[in-house]
Each structure stands twice: as C-alpha cells, then as structure tokens.
Amino acid sequence: MKLMRTTVLISTSLLFLLSCSSVVVEKENRIINSSNIGTAVVNGKRYTSKGQNFRVRFIILHYTVSDRDRSIDLLTDTDVSSHYLITDDKKDPIFYLVDEDKRAWHAGASNWKNFTNLNDNSLGIEIVNKGYVMENGEMKFFEFTPDQIQKLVILLKDLTKRYNIDPQDILGHADVAPQRKEDPGPLFPWEELYKKYGIGIWYDEETKVKYINSLQNLSPKDVQSELRKFGYPIEITNSYDEQAKNVIRVFQFRFRPSKYDGIIDQETFAILKALNEKYKK
C-alpha cells in the first residue's frame, strides 16, 4: 500500500512572517515560540538549562537533476527527501516537505570538519535544476533562475536567523560528499549570495593577491592539509590522486567557477589560503 503523503506549501509572505519574533513555528494548530522552548516555570520562577544548542548546525543546498514534476515525485516518496524544495515555476511557493524537527534523507554519506552523517544535524534544500549534461567530454551545467535565487534568499535568511547558523555552515552537497556529488555546481551564485545578500562566505580579493605565489615549493600534503583545514573530507596522501582532484574540483566549483579542472594552481590555492585566513575557526 502506498503511504499517504502531505505536502505543506510555504509562500514567500509566510516566510517573511516566520522571521518576525511574534510567530516562529505553526504546526497542527499549535503556536510554538522559540523563547519558551527548553524553559520550565515552577512557582513563578523560570528555569532554563545553559547546556543546550540547536541540533540543526548546517544547511545543505542541492539541485534535483530532474524537472519540476519528477522532483516532487522523488522528494515525496520513500527513498530520498529534503526539508524544502524550490521549483523553477514562478507560480509555485516553496514546498515544505519534511518538518524541520525531523531528519530528511538528503545528504547521504557525508562529512564536514569533525561531523559525519550530516542528515542528523542539517536542513536540506533542493532546487529544481537538471544539473549538467556531457558535451564533447565536458560538463555543461544548467543555470538557476532569478526567481529561484530570490526564494532561496528569503528562506536562508529565515533559517539562519532562527537556528543561529554560522555563515560557514551553509554548504553545497558536493562540499560534504566531494567524491560522488557535484551539486549545486559551478553556476550556483555563491559570490552573489555573499556580496549582495550577506549570506554564506567569500574570500577577500586583497588577501588572495597576498597569497598568489604561495603555492611554490609546497607539497601535495600541504595542499591537502589546507583543504582539510577548511572543512573538506580529504585523506592526506601527499599525492594529487583522484580523491584530491575531486575535492579540488568541488572547491573550484564554488570559489573559482571560471575553471574547474581539479588541478591545483596559483589562483585556486591563493583563494583557499585567503578563506582559511578569513574564517579561522
């Protein structure tokens, strides 16, 4: 018997309301205010433990590699899921598919810094996009629509505020699974999100210039160590082997999308050094 599925749609106006302090979450006719969560009031005295934080630590962005209808079918079935879906139809609201309190199956085998199995502590956002096709041996990626990015900005601003998510912890699926994933790909506008909306992270050009010649006389081990320091799951093999090339390519997808051949070069390494200097923790 096929399970009954419920899809909740969130309009952009509701997302705006969610960012206001008066309304945080509305489910099953219950209003839950975050200021009251984890608090007990006994005989007029308020008790709250200081030993707590949000279980949601990361937001992971994906593309669906399918069209709108197929994406909805896949994400409302039993094998894969995400908390939110943004389609390529302007008339669609944002689809809220999995309760934020629950674990969606979107990241799979994944690692970032000291964290593993990121389904346990992340929110997944899928964006309808066909990914890429191979043409003459090269990956040709599809662009995201301006409407998709605008909806994503509204959603990210709301989620990062409510869960106090660090800008460094807004990631792509490829970041946490670089040996098997490419999404959201090199046409995803990471730089625009940072410079126009203050979302996520980006390097400073001046710092990049400072490090532009720093690759000289460095071993593959040094490069791999810098990539691991940034957060990527990479083995230190002191070799530009296949797993290192995959991580370098994913890094280039995100921070040097004009050329993503998986080969470390002066500019790629300078960007990596600039990021590690700017975001030291």
The residues pairing with 127 across neighbouring beta strands, listed in sequence order, are 63, 86
Say yes or no: 79 and 192 in one domain. Answer: yes
Indicate the range of 45-59, 99-113, 172-186, 258-272 predicted with least confidence: 45-59
Task: Residue 226: give the domain boundaries.
Answer: 205-278
Say yes or no: 220 and 192 in one domain. Answer: no
Say yes or no: 173 and 223 in one domain. Answer: no
Q: What is the pLDDT at residue 45?
A: 86
Domains contained in the chain, number: 2
Does the pLDDT at position 233 exceed 60?
yes
Does the pLDDT at position 280 exceed 70?
yes
Say yes or no: 115 and 147 in one domain. Answer: yes
Say yes or no: 183 and 261 in one domain. Answer: no
Residues in the chain: 281
Give the tokens for residue 190. Answer: 């990471």
The residues pairing with 51 across neighbouring beta strands, listed in sequence order, are none
Does the pLDDT at position 13 exceed 50?
no
Q: Is 226 among the domain residues?
A: yes
**CATH number for position 219:** 1.10.101.10
Q: Is 80 among the domain residues?
A: yes
| pLDDT tens for each residue of 167-218 | 999 999 999 999 999 999 999 999 999 999 999 999 999 999 999 988 888 8
The residue among 78 and 96 whose pLDDT is bigger is: 96
Where is the domain boundary, 171, 197, 223?
197
Q: Is 227 among the domain residues?
A: yes
Average pLDDT over residues 88-110: 96
Say yes or no: 65 and 166 in one domain. Answer: yes
Could you give the CA distance from residue 91 to residue 176 in angstroms, rounded to a whole number?
32
- Residues designated as active site: 126
Say yes or no: 139 and 240 in one domain. Answer: no
β-strand pairing of 58-63 with 122-127: parallel
Say yes or no: 211 and 165 in one domain. Answer: no
Q: Is 47 among the domain residues?
A: no
DSSP annotation of 262: S
Judged by DSSP in three states, 7 sits in coil
Q: What is the pLDDT at residue 43?
A: 79
The residue among 38 and 89 whose pLDDT is bigger is: 89
Q: What is the pLDDT at residue 28?
A: 35
Q: What is the pLDDT at residue 9?
A: 53
Where is the domain boundary, 167, 197, 227?
197
Q: Do residues 146 and 152 touch, judged by C-beta distance below 8 A?
A: no
**CATH number for position 193:** 3.40.80.10
Containing 242, the helix (H) or strand (E) segment is: helix 242-255
Q: What is the 3-state secondary structure (H, E, C) of 110-131?
A: CEECCEECHHHHEEEEEECCCC
Where is the domain boundary, 163, 197, 231?
197
Average pLDDT over residues 90-109: 96
Q: Is 51 among the domain residues?
A: no
Q: List Cβ neighbours of 53 (8 Å cut-off, separation of 6 or more).
A: none
Q: What is the pLDDT at residue 39?
A: 66
Say yes or no: 139 and 219 in one domain. Answer: no
Does the pLDDT at position 29 exceed 50?
no
Could you give the CA distance from residue 113 to residue 230 in angstroms, rounded to a whole number?
8
Q: What is the pLDDT at residue 41?
A: 76
Q: What is the pLDDT at residue 42?
A: 81
Find, among 132, 58, 124, 136, the residue nearest to 95 by Cα: 124
Say yes or no: 62 and 191 in one domain. Answer: yes
Q: What is the pLDDT at residue 37?
A: 53
Q: Is 24 among the domain residues?
A: no
Residue 160 CA: distances (Å) to CA of 7, 66, 101, 152? 23, 27, 15, 12
Say yes or no: 272 and 224 in one domain. Answer: yes
Q: Is 20 among the domain residues?
A: no
Say yes or no: 157 and 215 in one domain. Answer: no
Does the pLDDT at position 3 exceed 70?
no
Q: Is 217 among the domain residues?
A: yes
